[in-house]
Amino acid sequence: MLTFTFPIFSLLLLSSSSTATAAQPYNATDYYLFDYGSSTTTNSDRIWDNPSVPQTPYSTTRIFNTSSFTYTFPVSQGPKFLRLYFHPAIYSDLKPEQSFFSVSSNGYSLFTNFSAFLTTSFLAKTRSNARVDRPLVPNFVKEFIIYVKDAQILNVTFTPSPNSCAFINGIEIVSMPEDLYNSKKRKSVGVTNGPVIDNKMALENIYRLNMGGGHVSGNGDTGMYRSWGPDNNYIYSAAIGLTPVYDQLKPIMYTTETPNYTAPELVYRTQRSMGSQSDKYNLTWILPVDSGFYYHLRLHFCKVVPQYKRRLHICIGAAKGLQYLHTGANRAIIHRDVKSTNILLDENWVAKLSDFGLSKLGPKDQTKNHVSTVVKGTIGYVDPEYYRRRQLTVKSDVYSFGVILLEVLCARPVIDLGLPDEQVNLAELGRSCYRKGTLHEIIDQNLSGEIAPKCLTKFGEVACRCLNEERFARPAMDDVVWGLELALQLQEDDEKTGEMV
């Protein structure tokens, strides 16, 4: 048996500081990239993922016909990704019919009597049946997870079958967080038996798919260089569902159970959804696998409910700002130009009122509740009573704030001249729908399915009271804040149990 331990200087060993080109959620503690048979070891551009361009590491190979051959890598304890890169071309010393071999690592048998040539022709066949044409490529990567114990050695042993040669084009080893695939920390659904994933088990990656999205290369991963393929090649039958994309500007909220290295944001931004027709059809993926093994299926979900609760928090923040203006100082300040574009958000999505260019001090004489002044403001937001009577009060701001609430809910312009007459003015439309109980028909489609009915009713009530024609019937901002906080509470209560509109 020939054992080969690579001296460290012939490996492309990248320390964590040099791998971190950009801030990544996970920084590898062990990272080896080795391009076999190459005379140089300077490659570090990591464009290996693009399978249509045979290049590093595929352009060079190491062929061995000895009884067995072992690479030994010194690494830290813990789980590692082991990636084996193959490009089964006809090299001068390598013939397809003489290329069967076994690979093992740290006591785990990874392949037995394996033919990279047969594997590529299988891949070519399955890809040519695929829905989307992709170039037929003769190279592929096999990815395993090996748990390295306290000996801190990762061995990879190639054993040619009788009268055969083994070959390899590239090996990559990347550390990973201890708990990434540890099944104890994940919720299992519908699993009643089967092994628990622990450090006595080696895993092989069979599929890693980005649902509803495209290919995500290793460089786009969270620091472990996993690549994610599109799922559309595997969808069975004509039903393909919908593939909405979550707004690029909005952050993906990771949690302590699902930390930011779990999967890249791009994976969570795209989805395949059954939309509102989910009771009318089935969505099915067919993923061919080998029989005789256990398969661990991990499903990544991303709930985009914040989209709505975040809007509610922003409304509450803005309402508190206005409440402070009206009541905080010893004389009320009337903003006079309350509109959505005057609400600024900081990096924590906290609302700030801006543009006090038109603001006015409230009446000095506390027995009067208005100041007489020319009408200023923005069309669509201006209090109709102020407009008619030239009397400005804090309730004029309350009216404008009611318009903002509808804007947040419906995500449409406050005046839209392209619509039928009865829908042009959002304030009028909102009040009429609220009275008829049809508010859910005009809400932003992006919020569809996210709002608890009780929350919507409360929110609509607050907005419509703000929009009352009579300023005396409009609530003070204290009441508005209180009403919106109640709406948020109703939303949170229902998220635990209830149905959404």
Ligand X SMILES: *[C@@H]1O[C@H](CO)[C@@H](O)[C@H](O)[C@H]1NC(C)=O
Longest dimension (CA), the chain: 105
Angstrom distance (rounded) from CA 332 to CA 326: 5
Which one, 253 or 375, has the nearer CB to ligand X?
Answer: 253
Q: How far is CA 42 from CA 19, 39, 46, in A?
A: 14, 9, 11
Angstrom distance (rounded) from CA 99 to CA 199: 32
Ramachandran angles phi, psi of 400, nearest 5°: -60, -35
Residues that contact ligand X, how many (by CB under 6 A): 28
List the interface residues with ligand X, window 245-274 (CB under 6 A): 245, 247, 260
Using CB under 6 A, which of the segments 148-156, 328-336, 449-457, 475-483 binds ligand X? 148-156
Q: How far is the CB of 149 from ligand X (least distance, A)?
A: 7
Nearest-10 Cα torsion for 157, 163, 165, 166 = -30
Which one, 161 or 183, has the nearer CB to ligand X?
Answer: 161
**Of the residues 416, 444, 485, 494, which one makes contact with ligand X according to CB under 6 A:** 444
Which token pair is 160?
């040619």
**Of the residues 4, 122, 236, 281, which one makes contact with ligand X according to CB under 6 A:** 281
Which one, 72 or 432, has the nearer CB to ligand X?
Answer: 72
Site string for ligand X, 151-180 (x = CB under 6 A): x-x-x-----x-------------------
List the interface residues with ligand X, window 10-39 (CB under 6 A): 20, 23-27
Which one, 444 or 495, has the nearer CB to ligand X?
Answer: 444
Which one, 262 or 491, has the nearer CB to ligand X?
Answer: 262
130-165 burial by CB neighbour count: b if 16+ within 10 A, else e? eeeeeeebbbbbbbbbbbbeeeeebbbbbbbbeebb
Which one, 151 or 379, has the nearer CB to ligand X?
Answer: 151
**Of the residues 113, 188, 341, 489, which one makes contact with ligand X according to CB under 6 A:** 113
List the interface residues with ligand X, window 65-84 (CB under 6 A): 65, 70, 72
Crossing angle (nearest 10°) for helices 306-327 and 394-410: 170
At 499, is the secondary structure helix, strand, or coil? coil
Nearest-10 Cα torsion for 418, 423, 424, 428 = -170
- Comparing CA positions, the residue from 203, 159, 174 lying closest to residue 71 is 159
Residue 471 contacts residue 399 (beta carbons within 8 Å): yes
List the interface residues with ligand X, window 231-250 (CB under 6 A): 244-245, 247
Which one, 26 or 181, has the nearer CB to ligand X?
Answer: 26
Q: State the residues that interact with ligand X by CB under 6 A.
A: 3, 20, 23-27, 65, 70, 72, 93, 100, 106-107, 113, 151, 153, 155, 161, 244-245, 247, 260, 281-282, 411, 444, 446
